[in-house]
């Protein structure tokens, strides 16, 4: 999903396993220095974390240039 937000319009392809979770992107922000914030409605956090730890998730993050060690997840309760 991140790649769809930050990639140029002609380059929005590649593995995006997170979309299969039913996640809805609500807001995307960039500070134009290589930092991005996404606000998403994710119906199944257990499935989200499973994808984050999977080989498909790792491949998608690598393809889109996302470094897993920099991801911070905030939950609204």
Q: Give the residue with greater pLDDT, 53 vs 38.
A: 53
Calculate mean pLDDT across residues 67-71.
88
Q: Helix 55-64 and helix 45-53: axis angle, to 10°?
A: 70
Is residue 66 scored above 80 in pLDDT?
A: yes
Which of 8, 66, 62 is closest to 37 using CA atoms?
A: 66
Which of 24, 20, 2, 21 is closest to 11 using CA atoms?
A: 2
Residue 32 DSSP class: S
Which of 55, 23, 76 is closest to 68 using CA atoms?
A: 55
Is residue 59 scored above 60 in pLDDT?
A: yes
The 10s digit of each residue's pLDDT in 34-45 is: 777 888 888 889
pLDDT number for residue 13: 53
> Helix, strand or coil for residue 25?
strand
């Amino acid at each position: 999903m991140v790649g769809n937000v930050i990639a140029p319009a002609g380059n929005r392809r590649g593995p995006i396993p997170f979309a299969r979770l039913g996640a809805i992107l609500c807001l995307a922000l960039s500070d134009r220095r290589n930092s991005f914030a996404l606000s998403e409605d994710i119906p199944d956090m257990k499935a989200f974390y499973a994808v984050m730890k999977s080989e498909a998730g790792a491949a998608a993050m690598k393809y889109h240039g996302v470094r897993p060690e920099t991801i911070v997840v905030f939950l609204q309760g």
